[in-house]
Amino acid sequence: MDNNNERTNQYVIFKLEEEYYGVAINFVETIEKVLEITRLPNTPHYIKGVINLRGEVIPVIDLRTRFKMGEKTLTEESRIIILTVEEMTIGLLVDSSSEVLTIEKENIDNTNSLINHTEDDYIKGIGKEDDRMIIILDILKILTQDSQEV
């Protein structure tokens, strides 16, 4: 998976609060407007529920809750990014998402020394693009560590 990331430098960019985040494009299936979400009882709070995506039932993770940002009501801009990682298909609920950027490897800083949060683990690096800082997420880690907690 890592190798794939290195090879394609394209990232789907989305927003949470005022921050920009990116996930490697090869994991992304589609970006959907928010569909009706059915609550899933007895699961961690950051699992928002499940959606019906053209006949498939797909779990949705609320990234805001996941990153302890506090909930926000859904807006017109809200999106669900559908990802497939290691045969798992999930949706990420984000505030907005509109672009795909190519970020060269040399423009991505390793973050280990910079940030010291709990979510540190899921951050692969910080990309710079036209004065914007883009937090590149390690999606595989988010999912696999999540499922262990579930």
Partner 1 sequence: MDMSQYLDIFMEESKEHLQSMNDILMQLENSPKNINLLNEIFRIAHTLKGMSGTMGFSNIASLTHEMENILDDIRNKNIVITAKVIDVLFECFDELESYVDQIEKHNNEGALTSQDLVKKLQALKHHEDIGEAKQPLKNFEVSDDAQPIDITINHYTNDIIKKAIERDFNVFSIKITLDKKCMLKSARAYIVINTLEKLAEIIQSTPSIEDIEDEKFDLSFELIIVSKCDEAYIRKELNGISEIESVEVLDFKNTRYSVEFSEEDDKNLEKFEEHQQALDSPSSENKKEEANSRKSKTGKTVRVDIDRLDNLMNLVSELIIIKTRLEDIDDLEKRQRMNEATEHLERITTSLHDAVMKVRMVPIERVFNRFPRMVRDLSKELNKEISLIMTGADTEVDRTVIDEIGDPLIHLIRNSIDHGIEDTGTRLRVNKDKQGTVKLSAYPDGNSVVIEVEDDGKGIDIDKVKAKAIDKNIISLQQCQLMEDNEIIQLLFTPGFSTADKISDISGRGVGLDVVKTKIEALGGTVEVNSSINKGSKFVIRLPLTLAIIQALLVVTGDEKYAIPLNNIKEISTIEANSIRKVQGNEVVLFRNTTLPILRLSKLLNVPNYVEDKLEYTIVIVKKGDRTAGIVVDELIGQQEIVIKSLGKFLSNIKGIAGATILGNGSVALILDTNSFF
Cβ neighbours of residue 13 closer than 8 Å, sequence gap 6 or more: 20, 21, 22, 97, 98, 99, 100, 101, 134
- State which of positions 45-64 bind partner 1 (CB under 8 A): 47, 49-52, 55-59
Least Å distance between CB 149 and partner 1?
12
Name which position in 62, 95, 138, 146 contacts partner 1 (CB under 8 A): 146
Binders of partner 1 in range 89-128 (CB under 8 A): 89-90
Residue 57 or 100 with smaller CB distance to partner 1:
57
**What is the H or E stretch that residue 108 is in?**
strand 108-109
For 22, residues 6+ apart whose C-beta sits below 8 A from its C-beta are 11, 12, 13, 14, 101, 103, 127, 134, 135, 136, 137
Question: What's the token pair of residue 40?
Answer: 């899933």
Choosing from 1, 114, 115, 150, the residue that interacts with partner 1 (CB under 8 A) is: 150
Nearer to partner 1, 50 or 81 (CB): 50
Please report, as ranges, the residues that interact with partner 1 according to CB under 8 A: 36, 38-43, 47, 49-52, 55-59, 87-90, 143, 146-147, 150
